[in-house]
Structures are given as C-alpha cells and as structure tokens.
Amino acid sequence: MGEIVQLTAAHWVYALFVVLIFVTLALRKDTSIVALAGMFVLGCILLRNPIGGLQAIFNGMLRSGTVLLDIVFIISIVVSLAKGLEGMGALYLMVRPARTLMRSPALAFWIIGVVMYIAALFIWPSPATALVGAILFPAGQAVGLPAISAAMAMNLFGHGACLSTDYVIQGAPKLTAEAAGVPVSDIIAASTPLNIVASVVALAVAWFLVVRKDIKAHTVTETEYLRLKEEAAEAEVRKYTTMARVAAWLVPLVFLVDVILLVALGIRGGDATAVLGGTSLVLLGIFCFWEHGWSKGAEQITNCLREGFMFGMKVFAPVFIVAGFYLMGVPGHAEAIFGDAARPLIIDIIRALSSAIPVNKAIVGIMHTILSGITGLDGSGFNDLPLMGALAASWGQALGLKTATLAALGQISMIWIGGGTIVPWAVLPVSAITGVPAIDLCRKNFWPCVAGVGAATIVAIILM
C-alpha cells in the first residue's frame, strides 16, 4: 500500500473546500465565492502570506483558462459558424431532413445519443460534441426535445458509455493496463460487463426518472409549441438563396469527410478538435464571402466570430474560478500555480484514505470507486488513470483479487464521474453547444451516473 501520508493543514483545507463546493452545487447556489475563498486560503497556507493568497486567485484562474482554452476556442468557432449559417437560413435547411427521422422528442433523444456514441467512438467526445451539437441538436429542438434532454443524451452516451471503455482508440485502457501491469485486452474484457451494466442502469434511470418528465413538461407548454410552429411555418415559406442550399449540404458532407480522414489517419483528441475548428473557420469564410461579397463578407466574418467568442466567454467565465481551485491540488497544474510550494494534494489525500481501508473485498471495491471518482474531479477522466491502475494492482496482490476487474472498475468510475457528466467544468463542451447551464446539466446527470457506477461496483465486487 505504500507509506502512510501525513496530511497537513493545506490538505485539510483543500478537502474541506472541495466538499463545500459540491454542497453549494447541491443547494443550487453559486460556487464562485466558495472557490475564491478556497483559492485565497490555500494560497495563504502554501505561500505563507496574504499576498500569496491574492496571487493564488489570479494564477489559479489563469491556469484553468489555459487548460480550458482549446475547449473555449472550438465551441466559440462552431457557434460562429452556426451564426453565419443561421443568418442565411442554411442551418434550418441542414436540419430539415433530420426532422423527418426525429418525429417525436423521445425518438430525438435516442437518435442524438446513438449518433453521439458512434461519433465519440472514433474521434472522442469533445470533437463529436461539436459535430452532433451543430447538426442534430437544432433538429431535436424543432420536434420539441428540451435542450437539457439533448445535452443529457450527448453526455451519457458520449462521455459516459463510450469514453469509459474507449474500445476503438483505447487510450483509457492502455493507461490503466500499463499501470496495473496487465494486458490491455484484459482491461477491455473486464470493463465490458461493468460498463454494460453502468450504461444500461444510467440510461434507464435518466430516461424513466428524468428525461420523460422533462419532455412531458416541455411539450405541454402551449406558448413554446406555438412559437416553434410559427417559426417552422415561416422557415418553410422563406426564399432561400443558392448559397444557403449549397451550405446546407456542404457542411455535413465536409464534416463527414473530416471524420473519415480523422479515423483513417489516426488523428484523435485535441488534434481532431483542431481539424474541426479549422474546417469550421474555412467554411465560415467561404460562405460569408460568397453570400455578402468581399467587402461586406470580411465584416460579416468578424461579426460572427465576435458573437461566437462572446458566447464562449460568457459560458466559461464562471467555471474558470471553480476549476482554478481544483487544479491547485492536481500535480502538474499545482506547480504552475504555486511553483516550488506546490503539493500533490489530491494524490496525498487519496493515498491517505487508501492506507486506512480494511482488507475486505466489498469495502475495497466501494472505496476504489469513491477514490476513482475523487480523482476524476479534475474534469478529464484520464489524468489519474495510472494512479488507480497502480492502486488496483496493489490491492489485487495484497488480497488476491482480480486486478483487471478492479482496475477496470476504477477506469469506468473515474470517466463516468469526471470524464464529462457530473463535474461542472467537464460538461462545458455540451453545456456551451446546447446553451444549458453546466450546473443544471450536472444535477440532471447526477443520479443516473451515480446509479450506473453503483451498479457497476456491485457487479465488480461479485466478479472479483
């Protein structure tokens, strides 16, 4: 299990404010003040003076801004393209065919989810979010699917069910397997039954306890129904330019070619997101120049980008504060904030907890899930997979448990919780593209995810 870690005042303060942030979320209050206070107090302790506390606030937010910058950019760029397409009417023409398939809000929920799963399987959830959000999300809204239900579908299918096993790209199982000292194939095999259970339970809870109620409440709103009906009628009789008709076909086609090339060339993650961002900017330029001419086209491009980035910063600004506090305890990020005074607070806390766990198969499984969830709070779901893989190997050797099963449980728990479902700064891509507040989306995802991970933990304990 390793040597026992001595927890300092900084560790206790960090743990306390992490708990306070999530209690504040549960109470539906703004977390910014709590996070700011946490950054200041932690800075005072580690840097040993109030000036250091003030510096920590700024440096923490700066670090979170740096970490989240690529997400801010891709969301802002995609929204800029959508603004340009919306102005010329191409956005409506683009989603009109999808409306024939999405004949009801319920069908729209499952179609968006399945498409998100397939896209995320090959290019990971972040770039898949940009594609599905730009093309299918408006179609779902047109048939009465609430924005938050569409966002849940994208989260649960893409960031939960798909990413937690990562069958095609295999980034997650490789990290887990290497640290656990077992073959990748063993991790994949062990994670399959666990994730099937987690996905089925999470989606069932989401559908029966959350989504159906939201759809029912949304569809009975007569004002909203009349508005959508009127907008659809106006859109049908509108005269569309040749450019709008070309754009409606060209955008999905170009993005489809992008996906094929990304898969064929093995371009994944951030690199894939960059390709989609560049493609969006090129398309925006082509359409604006074609539709408005050279002089007005350049001005229109600037206007669309301005609207897109204003939207992106408006959505992300509050999250920089909360994410900045959490990153203060994450290795790598902490050094950028505190320099030599940095401490791996989250790792130390986990090691201290793990050293106090009784030698019991059931308790080990439960605690491994909890610790994996805590490490997933950084919002990536990937950074600490090696830590949990190594911890699974230690427990497996000490208790004679199946290391692959325990490691797979840690991987699934970490990604379902931290990979983009119930951590506010991890759901930002979906939150931004759908316009749903991140905190509201996390609340909707919370019980489905907890139920899914809980069910997977029970199965893992039985299989160990």
Instruction: Give pLDDT, residue 344.
Output: 87
Write the pLDDT tens digit of every residue in 151-195: 999 999 999 999 898 887 677 888 888 888 888 889 999 999 999
Amino acid identity of 117? Y
pLDDT at position 106: 93
Note the pLDDT tens digit of each residue in 211-250. 999 998 876 455 666 666 666 666 666 677 888 888 888 8
pLDDT computed for residue 454 by the predictor: 96
Residue 9: pLDDT band (50, 70, 90) is very high
Of the listed ranges 174-188, 294-308, 314-328, the one predicted with least confidence = 314-328
Q: Is the pLDDT of residue 67 over 90?
A: no
Please state, in angstroms and rounded to a whole number, the distance separating the CA atoms of residues 363 and 27: 29
**Model confidence pLDDT, tens digit, residues 31-44:** 789 989 999 999 99
Q: Is the pLDDT of residue 123 over 70?
A: no
Name the average pLDDT for the chain: 85
Cβ 426 vs Cβ 381: under 8 Å: yes
CA distances from 31 to 15, 24, 267 (A): 15, 6, 37
Decide if 386 contacts 178 (C-beta within 8 A).
yes
pLDDT of residue 71: 73
What 3-state DSSP class applies to 31? Answer: coil
How is the chain split into domains, by residue range? 69-168+197-315
Q: According to the model, what pLDDT value does residue 228 have?
A: 60
Of residues 368, 408, 373, 396, the one with CA closest to residue 197: 408
- Which pTM value belongs to this model? 0.72
Q: What average pLDDT score do residues 97-119 get?
A: 87
